[in-house]
Every structure is written in structure tokens, then in C-alpha cells.
Amino acid sequence: MYEDLRSSTVFSPEGMGELVNYKQKNPQALFWAGGTYLMAKDITYPSKNPIDIISLDRMDELKRITRNDTSVEFGSMVNLQSVSIVAKNFFSSDICKALSSLSTQIIRSQATVGGALCTQKIKTSFATIMTTLDASVECRILSKKPLVKWVQVDKMFDKSGDLILSPTTLVTKLHINACKDSLFYFKATGSPMTEAENAVIFAIRCKLLQNTISETRACFNFPLVGLHTSELVQSSLTGIVLPMNPVRIMKLTEDLIEEIRREHPALKPIQMEQASRMFESFLYNLNAQIIARS
């Protein structure tokens, strides 16, 4: 069964210079971060055409966590478990709970920031949360003249959900501003890894000042279709005074579903239904919180 199989060539650079040299000689070589997605979906052993691998495991500069009073930067090889631990100092408890609910600790210890953001075929829950937090990534283009640019997480994907970054671009850092006073709501049905075709993930962040909603950032994730950052939700929720009338909630939900249907015609009816229920549930939760306070 395993006869005549060529083994993948694995290159483990220790610095950026080595990595650039190797990538220029082997542009088709695949970046290997945690390998959670690649081993589960992309790499099937035994394969007749094994691909060359660049393992980023020994790149210490990609494992750094830099923080100050207002922001935190994670290297792309930091694992999601470390992110959820460090997050406690920078984000509200709801955001921390959402980060700790991404899969199990066993998987989070293996999955990395870079891997979770740069999977080609699916969009992960981590990307959804980072979009609502307005996070941005440092992209390094591995050419003779090294070029570095910062890209917002939601701008990493096009409308159809494909990763825009070229194969010679390496995500090196993730930058997030601290937000301890924001309201955060996160809901996921199904896992992007095991039920990608039916899963829906929803995250929304907003500020609540004297019962008025402001600075709303909402993101729906349909793993195989793409991320949907709803401008309509963001603009129509901002400035609304709570509690909201149920008729208004219904109208807003209908508008949202219409917007999603227009932009992602390939979505399944079950995903539409789930998205509308999640959004409604968020608004009713918000109403309940305000009524309980008064």
C-alpha cells in the first residue's frame, strides 16, 4: 500500500531570512502552523503527490505575545489556548467565554492564530470573533524586497469567502485593541470543522450607554460561504434606545435576512432560519437585560 510513495519534504526555518529563501525556491510549498485543519481535511495519507511543507514550529518570532495597556499582539504561531488565557486581561468576560468555547482545550492547544485565520476552504469561529473585535493582521509578503502591510481580518476574504492573501504572503501577527466595556454576544450552531455545510456562527459587539446602543459590529459566519458583516445591522442598531418594540425586532430581522439572501444566494434555508433566530435572540436578550436593570 505504501510502496513507491514519495515522502513530503519538510523544511523547518528558524528565522524569516531562511523562510523567504526557501519559499522563493519552492513557491508551491505549504505553510504548516498547527496542522489541525490540514491533517483533518487537506492532507490525506497516503497521497501519490505529496506536497512540500514549511513547518513554522521553530519560528520563535511568530510565537511572541506583546501587550501594552490598550492592545495586545499575538504572533501567528500562538495557540488558541494561550489566546483565551491572555484575553482575560484585555476583554470582557463574554468575549473570554466565547474564546474559551472555541472547540475543546485539546484542539485549542494545537490550533494556532495564523492557521485559524488562514484556512482556505472554511471560515472558523475565531475569524468571526476577530472580525467583531476589529482585529487586524500583519501580512509579510515573502519576496526579495520584503513588504509588510496591515489588513483588517474581514478584508482577508472576498465576498464569496475566499482568502484574498496570495500563497507567498505569511500572516505574522494579530493585533487587537482591548475592549472591556463592550457587550458581546456569541452563538454557534454546528462546528465549522465537522458540519461546515450547515453551521452558522454569529458574533456581535456593541456599547450600551444609558440604554442606547452604539458602536455596533456584527458578523455572521457561514463556514463554506463566507463572512457576512452586516452594514444594515450596524447602521440600524446604532442609536436605538432599549427596550425595543417586538414589531421593530421583527422588521429588523426581516431586513437582515433579505440582505443576507441578496448577498449569499447559495445559502441553505436552514442557515437563513438559524441566522434570523440568533439575531432575534440577541435583541430579546438585550431587552431582557435592560428591563431587569430597571
Partner 1 sequence: MKIDCNIDGKNYSFSVNSDKPLIQILIDDIEVESMMSICKGAFCGNCIVMIDGQAALSCLIPAFKMNGATIQTFESFRKTRAFRDIDRAYNEVGCTPCRQCYASKTMIIESIIQTIEKQQSLLSNPVERNRLRRSSEIEEIQAEQDQFAIRELSLNSCTCTEDSELVKVVKACLEYRRRRNVRRS
Using CB under 8 A as the criterion, which residues of the chain lie in contact with partner 1 when the complex forms?
2, 5, 7-10, 12, 35-36, 39-41, 43-47, 50, 53, 55, 57, 101, 104-107, 109-110, 193-194
User: How many angstroms separate the CA atoms of 167 and 78, rounded?
Assistant: 21
Smallest gap from Cβ 9 to partner 1, in A, equals: 7
Smallest gap from Cβ 211 to partner 1, in A, equals: 28
User: How many angstroms separate the CA atoms of 225 and 18, rounded?
Assistant: 36
User: How many angstroms separate the CA atoms of 211 and 201, rounded?
Assistant: 26
Looking at the Cβ atoms of 192 and 226, the one nearer to partner 1 is 192
Looking at the Cβ atoms of 7 and 70, the one nearer to partner 1 is 7
- CA within 13 Å, CB half, 64: 10
How many of the other CB atoms lie within 10 Å of CB of 151?
A: 15
Smallest gap from Cβ 33 to partner 1, in A, equals: 11
Smallest gap from Cβ 85 to partner 1, in A, equals: 11
Cβ–Cβ under 8 Å, residues 205 and 181: no
User: How many angstroms separate the CA atoms of 196 and 260, rounded?
Assistant: 18
Looking at the Cβ atoms of 57 and 280, the one nearer to partner 1 is 57
Looking at the Cβ atoms of 178 and 193, the one nearer to partner 1 is 193
Looking at the Cβ atoms of 108 and 264, the one nearer to partner 1 is 108
Looking at the Cβ atoms of 18 and 57, the one nearer to partner 1 is 57
Smallest gap from Cβ 294 to partner 1, in A, equals: 25
Q: How does 129-140 read in b/e, with b if 16+ C-beta sit within 10 Å?
A: bbbbbbbbbbbb
Residue recorded with cell 503527490: 49
User: How many angstroms separate the CA atoms of 145 and 24, rounded?
Assistant: 12
Smallest gap from Cβ 235 to partner 1, in A, equals: 36
